[in-house]
């Protein structure tokens, strides 16, 4: 292996960057290290059998004592290239769980469009295509990477909501799905596989998310605690439900792409029926 194990360790100061480090007092930097669980993540990397590559998805779940069940795997044709569209209830566990599942099914031939924070998870960086979930402006380089991804043999996973589920009017609610995945499915002739994963975040996360909306902040304060949310899922079991593929040819002009996206969102939510998990909060 070309890199040493220590090259894959998480470094919060590197994540924050030199400009921000100059402005932050040391106690704030240490706060971020605790919230991002730098020591625990690096302990996992140092003791993992597979400390980089797709094998690390399973190693991370083992370290966290997180397990999952799969329903509907028989719906997949292993000879097809799909675009998987998944709900986004948690922010971290679903990426690890689905990554572990895809590793079992597809080996290392898959990519995940996800938030920019996960690009700093070096053992898994090659599987994540980071997008800016708080801005509509994306770099030209990202556009090229996305095009290359869809034209490759990789399976592609996307979270069309962009951000984690919120609690609105007392109910955990998936944000409206963006239409881009419909456009991409049609453009690159990929059937869409609806994917649902169980679970929800803590009351603290929902409170901070609501506070961010009330204060009209561009940055969701709850995201600071997303890794905390991941570690709080220790010992839990989740359920992944794989729906039947939907042909890309179905997305015609009878509806707008935004309407099609909303329909697929409803289809994904329906997959939760009968999974034996707790009802929506």
Of 75, 86, 104, 70, residue with least CA distance to 239: 70
Structurally, the chain folds into a number of domains equal to 2
Asked if residue 126 and residue 11 are part of one domain, the reply reads no
- On whether residue 140 sits in a domain, the answer given is yes
Partners of residue 80 on adjacent β-strands: none
Question: Does 151 have pLDDT greater than 50?
Answer: yes
Rounded Cα gap, residues 262 and 264, in angstroms:
6
**Cα angle: 238, vertex 50, 84; to 5 degrees:** 45
Residues 109 and 183 in one domain: yes
Whether residues 150 and 212 share a domain: the answer is: yes
The whole domain housing 214 covers: 67-270
Q: How far is CA 240 from CA 24, 39, 68, 275, in A?
A: 40, 29, 7, 9
Both 6 and 119 in one domain: the answer is no
Confidence at residue 132, expressed as pLDDT on a 0 to 100 scale: 59
Q: CB under 8 Å, gap of 24 or more: what pairs does 147-152 form?
A: 149/111, 150/83, 150/184, 150/187, 150/188, 150/190, 151/188, 152/111
Per-residue pLDDT of 212-262, as tens digits, reads 888 887 777 888 888 899 999 999 999 999 999 999 999 999 999 999 999
- Within this chain, do residues 107 and 167 fall inside the same structural domain, yes or no? yes
Reported pTM: 0.90
Q: What is the mean pLDDT of the chain?
A: 89
Cα–Cα distance between 157 and 265 in angstroms, integer?
14
CB neighbours of residue 31 within 10 Å = 14
Do 105 and 165 lie in one domain? The reply is yes
**Percent of residues, the chain, with pLDDT higher than 70:** 94
189's torsion region: left (phi>0), alpha (psi -120 to 50) or beta? left
- Indicate the pairing of strand 237-242 with strand 191-197: antiparallel
Q: Give the pLDDT score at 134.
A: 43
Same domain, 32 and 110: no
Contact 96, 63 (CB under 8 A): no
The reply to whether 61 falls in a domain is no
In tens, the pLDDT along 160-206 reads 998 889 888 888 889 999 999 999 999 999 999 999 999 999 989 98
Residue 135: predicted pLDDT: 44
Is the dihedral angle over the CA atoms 266, 236, 44, 110 positive or is it negative? negative
DSSP one-letter code for 116: G
Q: Is the pLDDT of residue 1 over 70?
A: no
Instruction: Let me know whether 74 and 19 are in one domain.
Output: no
Label the pairing between strands 128-131 and 110-115: parallel
Model pLDDT, residue 281: 44
Does residue 157 carry a pLDDT above 50?
Answer: yes
The answer to whether residue 147 sits within a structural domain is yes
Which of 100, 98, 106, 158 is closest to 133 using CA atoms? 158
Q: Are 222 and 139 part of one and the same domain?
A: yes
Average pLDDT over residues 96-112: 94
- The answer to whether the CB of 192 falls within 8 A of the CB of 185 is yes
pLDDT at 73 over 80: yes
Mean pLDDT to the nearest integer, 120-134: 79
Helix/strand/coil (H, E, C) string of 80-137? CCEEEEECCCCCCHHHHHHHHHHHHHHCCCEEEEEEHHHHHCHHHHHHEEEECCCCCC
What whole-number distance in Å separates Cα of residue 40 and Cα of residue 148? 34
Indicate the pLDDT class of residue 41, thresholds 50, 70 and 90.
very high
The reply to whether 218 and 91 lie within a common domain is yes
Q: Which residue has the higher pLDDT, 204 or 134?
A: 204
In a domain, 137, yes or no: yes
C-alpha dihedral sign at 280, 175, 35, 111 = positive
**Segment 107-116 mean pLDDT:** 86
On whether both 27 and 108 belong to a single domain, the answer is: no
């Amino acid at each position: 292996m070309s890199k040493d194990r220590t090259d894959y360790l998480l470094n919060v100061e590197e994540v924050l960057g030199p400009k921000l480090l100059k402005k932050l007092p040391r106690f704030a930097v240490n706060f971020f290290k605790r919230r991002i669980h730098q020591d625990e993540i690096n302990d996992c990397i140092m003791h993992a059998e597979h400390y980089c590559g797709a094998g690390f998805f399973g190693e991370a779940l083992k370290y966290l004592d997180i397990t999952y069940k799969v329903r509907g795997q028989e719906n997949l044709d292993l000879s097809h290239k799909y675009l998987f569209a998944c709900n986004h209830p948690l922010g971290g566990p679903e990426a690890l769980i689905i990554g572990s599942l895809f590793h079992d099914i597809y080996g290392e031939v898959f990519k995940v469009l996800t938030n920019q924070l996960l690009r700093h998870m070096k053992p898994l960086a090659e599987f994540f295509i980071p997008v800016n979930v708080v801005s509509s402006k994306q770099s030209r380089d990202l556009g090229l990477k996305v095009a290359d991804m869809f034209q490759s043999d990789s399976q592609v996973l996307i979270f069309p909501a962009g951000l984690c589920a919120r609690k609105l009017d007392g109910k955990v609610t998936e944000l409206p799905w963006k239409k881009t995945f419909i456009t991409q499915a049609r453009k690159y002739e990929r059937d869409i596989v609806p994917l649902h994963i169980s679970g929800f975040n803590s009351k603290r996360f929902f409170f901070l998310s609501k506070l961010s909306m009330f204060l009209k902040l561009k940055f969701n304060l709850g995201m600071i605690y997303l890794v905390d949310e991941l570690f709080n899922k220790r010992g839990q079991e989740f359920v992944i439900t794989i729906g039947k593929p939907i042909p890309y040819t179905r997305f015609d002009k009878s509806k707008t792409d935004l309407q099609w996206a909303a329909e697929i969102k409803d289809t994904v939510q329906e997959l939760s029926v009968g999974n034996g998990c707790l009802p929506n909060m």
